[in-house]
Amino acid sequence: MNWDQIKGNWKQFKGKVQKEWGNLTDDEIDQMEGDRELMIGKIQEKYGKSREEAKKEVDEFSTRL
């Protein structure tokens, strides 16, 4: 699924994001509003991952949707 679709339907995907990355708060997920770069940054920050690791996870997640 492309990021325009994800962004447009963010409310539908918030639960899936929470399930995938449980350490993210509801407020953080709300702030993302489907913004891929912001999502990568938050995952990187919360989980102590490199930017490349976080990017790979987010891209794999979007592919599974």
pLDDT truncated to tens, each residue of the chain (65 aa)? 888 999 999 999 999 999 999 999 999 999 999 999 999 999 999 999 999 999 999 999 999 98
CATH number at residue 36: 1.10.1470.10
CA 26 from chain center: how many Å?
Answer: 12
Which residue segment(s) compose the domain that 17 sits in?
3-64
In the chain, the number of structural domains is 1
Task: Report the predicted TM-score, pTM, of the whole model to 2 decimal places.
Answer: 0.93
The type of residue at 19 is K
**Cα separation, 53 vs 60, whole angstroms:** 11
pLDDT value for 65: 87
Provide the 10 A C-beta neighbour count for residue 39.
Answer: 26
CB atoms within 10 A of CB 32: 23
DSSP 8-state symbol, 30 = H
Give residue 26's pLDDT.
Answer: 95
Cα 8–chain centre separation: 14
